[in-house]
Amino acid sequence: MKKIQMVDLQSQYQKIKEDVDTAILNVLGSAAFINGPEVKQFETELQDYLDVKHVIPCANGTDALQIALMSLGLEPGDEVITADFTFAATVEVVDLLKLTSVLVDVDYTTFTIDIEKLKAAITPKTRAIIPVHLFGQCANMDEVMAVAKEYNLFVIEDTAQAIGADYKGKKAGTIGHIGCTSFFPSKNLGCYGDGGAIFTNDDELAHKLRGIVNHGMYKRYYHDEVGVNSRLDSVQAAVLRKKLPLLDSYNEARNKAAAYYSEAFKDIEELLTPEVNENSTHVFHQYTLRVTNGKRNELQAFLTEKEIPAMIYYPVPLRKQKAYNNGHYNDADFPNTNKLVEEVISLPMHTELDEEQLMFITSAVKEFFGK
Ligand SMILES: *Cc1c(COP(=O)(O)O)cnc(C)c1O
């Protein structure tokens, strides 16, 4: 059996090696490393795939979130609400820009922002919401957009883990004012280095975003505002152009593995398998179980013993991280995040899991629970 990995990027690369190698060599030959034609072409192809008016490529997903926030004309102290249970990048950029991050609890079954908690966190200073489509399925966007409309707030979708997911027929990241994604190698659409992109249907925001990614420059050497330098390079764009046409089949492969897992675990009472929202498809960036009998860490150790990797995404709520604890949070407001950090465990999930590996992994988990 092939060694089991959380993410198997080598096996995936071997299948597209010839195509990708040629594309990379072409960029090297052209020497158009920055802003080459590959970048522009990828931009157009991703616009078509997402059915969105503007795609602005950038250097990584964290930059995408930062630049999105920078485009909104917010003032220091303005509040931005996001989920307590996500990767730190989502909140990091808020604090970095001297905006005030407000973390709220997530839903226990979908791992996405809890709408009631979101509503309760709104103050006269709230300006934006960043829903995170965690682990590959969309937050409850109908509700998020309804809240945003009622209070006149911006919505930035963190789509780093959910590219390709559909929410009621629209692609994740194209429903809010701005969508952000990452092409980090292990993401569902990963390049071979760092990369990211920002999406919007708003022409004015798109213009602003294009300026900010390029030193606040709208006319060469005229800097209208403080920007950043955040570029997707041509080599990464060339890789992404080869992988974008495969994204749906990659997400399908992830769904197949997820279905195999969930079928195998359906009779284990102490194990809650991921639930799929009625309005969103799931692209299983992660396959995340909840272990309800308090034995999550034992399960992880048991699997490690059998050389099956399993990860805890995420072990600490963001509000308990030193960097993001403002002293104002009340533990009782976060019952779900508090439970999730103790219960979650993510199994190997990627496009190259074969039946032998899946059988081995599921047998080990069943053995742990005496099934
Ligand atoms: C990966 C990720 C990011 C950051 O993307 P990078 O390209 O690594 O900067 C942001 N938010 C979430 C939810 C992520 O998973």
Q: What is the pLDDT of residues 267-322, one digit of tens each?
A: 999 999 999 988 999 999 999 999 999 999 999 999 999 999 999 999 999 999 99
Distances (CA, A) of 296 to 203, 257, 304, 365: 47, 21, 12, 11
Distance CA 81, CA 119 (A): 10
pLDDT at res. 69: 98
Q: Is 114 helix (H, G, I), strand (E, B) or coil?
A: coil
Does the CB atom of residue 60 touch ligand 1 within 6 A? yes
- Indicate if 128 and 172 belong to the same structural domain: yes
Does the CB atom of residue 86 touch ligand 1 within 6 A? yes
Query: How would DSSP label each residue in 291-360?
Result: ETTS-HHHHHHHHHHTT---B-S-SS-GGGSGGG--S---GGG-HHHHHHHHHEEEE--STT--HHHHHH
What is the 264 CA–ligand 1 centroid distance (Å)?
Answer: 30
- Indicate if 85 and 175 belong to the same structural domain: yes
- Residue pLDDT, tens place only, 24-81: 999 999 999 999 999 999 999 999 999 999 999 999 999 999 999 999 999 999 999 9
Does the CB atom of residue 214 touch ligand 1 within 6 A? no
User: Which is the closest atom of ligand 1 to the Cα of 90?
Assistant: 11
Q: For residue 339, what is the domain's CATH number?
A: 3.90.1150.10
User: Which is the closest atom of ligand 1 to the Cα of 89?
Assistant: 10
Q: Whose CA is nearest to atom 14 of ligand 1?
A: 160
What is the 87 CA–ligand 1 centroid distance (Å)?
Answer: 7
Residue 2 domain flag: no
Q: Which of 191, 149, 161 is nearest to 39 (CA)?
A: 191
Query: How would DSSP label each residue in 128-194?
Result: EEE-B-GGGB---HHHHHHHHHHHT-EEEEE-TT-TT-EETTEETTSSSSEEEEE--TTSSS--SS-
Encoding tokens for residue 344? 């979650």
Does the CB atom of residue 163 touch ligand 1 within 6 A? no
What is the 222 CA–ligand 1 centroid distance (Å)?
Answer: 31
Residue 150 domain flag: yes
- Indicate if 216 and 83 belong to the same structural domain: yes
User: Which is the closest atom of ligand 1 to the Cα of 134?
Assistant: 13
- Indicate if 230 and 270 belong to the same structural domain: no
Q: Whose CA is nearest to atom 1 of ligand 1?
A: 160
What is the 160 CA–ligand 1 centroid distance (Å)?
Answer: 5
Confidence of residue 327 (pLDDT cuts 50, 70, 90): confident
Residue 291 domain flag: yes
pLDDT at res. 28: 97
Distances (CA, A) of 245 to 91, 114, 248, 345: 31, 34, 7, 31
Last residue of a domain, one of 195, 211, 245: 245
Q: Whose CA is nearest to atom 2 of ligand 1?
A: 160
Structural domain total, the chain: 2
Q: Which of 180, 181, 184, 232 to mutate to test the pocket of ligand 1 (most atoms within 8 A of CB)?
A: 184
What is the 256 CA–ligand 1 centroid distance (Å)?
Answer: 24
Does the CB atom of residue 160 touch ligand 1 within 6 A? yes
- Indicate if 317 and 276 belong to the same structural domain: yes
- Mark out the alpha helices in 244-281 (DSSP H runs): 247-264
- Indicate if 234 and 345 belong to the same structural domain: no
- Indicate if 346 and 236 belong to the same structural domain: no
Q: For residue 83, what is the domain's CATH number?
A: 3.40.640.10
pLDDT at res. 216: 96
Last residue of a domain, one of 193, 220, 245: 245
pLDDT at res. 277: 86
Residue length, the chain? 371
Residue 140 domain flag: yes
pLDDT at res. 287: 98
Does the CB atom of residue 90 touch ligand 1 within 6 A? yes
Encoding tokens for residue 31? 């020497």
- Residue pLDDT, tens place only, 235-251: 999 999 999 999 999 99
The whole-angstrom distance between residue 63's C-alpha and the CA centroid of its chain comes to: 13
Distance CA 69, CA 287 (A): 30
Q: Is the pLDDT of residue 118 over 90?
A: yes
Does the CB atom of residue 36 touch ligand 1 within 6 A? no
Distance CA 165, CA 183 (A): 15
Q: Is the pLDDT of residue 254 over 90?
A: yes
Distances (CA, A) of 37 to 42, 123, 215, 364: 9, 45, 21, 49
Does the CB atom of residue 196 touch ligand 1 within 6 A? yes
- In the chain, pLDDT over 70 holds for what percent of residues? 100
Q: Which of 6, 86, 111, 182 to mutate to test the pocket of ligand 1 (most atoms within 8 A of CB)?
A: 182
- Indicate if 213 and 79 belong to the same structural domain: yes
- Indicate if 200 and 172 belong to the same structural domain: yes
Q: Is the pLDDT of residue 329 over 90?
A: yes
- Indicate if 123 and 236 belong to the same structural domain: yes
Q: Which of 65, 87, 231, 285 to mutate to test the pocket of ligand 1 (most atoms within 8 A of CB)?
A: 87
Residue 1 domain flag: no
User: Which is the closest atom of ligand 1 to the Cα of 161?
Assistant: 15
DSSP conformational letter for 99: P
- Indicate if 88 and 31 belong to the same structural domain: yes
Last residue of a domain, one of 220, 245, 270: 245
pLDDT at res. 144: 98
- The boundaries of the domain holding residue 335 are 246-368
- Indicate if 301 and 237 belong to the same structural domain: no
Section 330-358 average pLDDT: 98
What is the 89 CA–ligand 1 centroid distance (Å)?
Answer: 6
User: Hunting for tokens 């929202």 — which residue is that?
Assistant: 277
Residue 3 domain flag: no
Q: Which of 194, 359, 339, 331 is nearest to 272 (CA)?
A: 339
Q: Is 125 helix (H, G, I), strand (E, B) or coil?
A: coil
